[in-house]
Structure 1
């Protein structure tokens, strides 16, 4: 299993950070276009809540579309939320999003645990493709968020 840790400080209020990151419709804006990421579930303008199911289509490799379904399993308002894969490309996916007021802005932390399926073959694919792609996605996100909110 992989454990990845990413941080980003943004000169915005905690309210602004929470409003942006707890809205699933913003995910496409912070995901590279080549991923073909589309949220397919309706959210009806509701605030994020524990038990919320979010469905996506993503094209991570060779433009092949995959269905992905995550559940928001934990939410502490303006502190953190956790999404866990229920169905999708990973054998295991657990992603913590944490928000802390710091130095006149917000420190965002992402703690990601994931495992690729298919045993030894999956480990090879992770080493060659998946881990690099996940890191690329988070680097892209950091760039887009810096452009949008400042750094």
Structure 2
């Protein structure tokens, strides 16, 4: 059986909760913090205001320029506290991404907690070790840098 992998990141945003929540809870803004090599494009959001049950469709080119369809569902939302997106169709056999926001003294602490699984059993584990894990980290490193540029 292949493993479930985890990525955990925490970042301080020097801004207000209102501004942070407005940006991160709008699916249309995800493209701004995704590395250009991914050629990431939101193709349908089924509404601009995030809500539980919202479906978001994307096109993405994570490897070798191959275009992939990806659909996530926003499964949980608590205004100005957290939201969760889960893959419904796409490259992973499991994708559960929590986004948490907490007001702190100098702004907003944003926490990403991602659990994912690669298909194809032990071959997926090998692919994760040598390719996917590094690519996921690279994507989140890029996001952190872009967010730092935007919010200090």
Fold-level similarity (TM above 0.5):
yes
Count of aligned residue pairs for this structure pair: 149
Q: What is aligned with 1:11?
A: 14
Partner-residue secondary structure (3-state), 1:19: helix
Q: Distance in 1 between matches of 2:106 and 2:35?
A: 29
Q: What is aligned with 1:60?
A: 62
Q: What is aligned with 1:26?
A: 29
Partner-residue secondary structure (3-state), 2:131: helix
Q: What is aligned with 2:91?
A: 89
Q: Structure 1 regions of 5+ residues with no counterpart? A: none
Q: What RMSD, in angstroms, separates the aligned Cα atoms of the two structures?
A: 0.8
Partner-residue secondary structure (3-state), 1:135: helix
Q: Distance in 2 between matches of 1:9 and 1:69?
A: 28
Q: Give the Å deviation of 1:94.
A: 0.1
Partner-residue secondary structure (3-state), 2:11: strand
> Is the Cα contact below 8 Å between 2:27 and 2:45 reproduced in 1?
no
Q: What is aligned with 1:120?
A: 122
Q: What is aligned with 1:149?
A: 151
Q: Give the Å deviation of 1:104.
A: 2.7
Partner-residue secondary structure (3-state), 2:44: coil
1:80 to 82, 86, 92: 82
Q: Distance in 2 between matches of 1:43 and 1:142?
A: 27
Q: Structure 2 regions of 5+ residues with no counterpart? A: none
TM-score by length of 2: 0.96
Structure 1 runs of 4+ with >3 Å offset: none
Partner-residue secondary structure (3-state), 1:40: strand
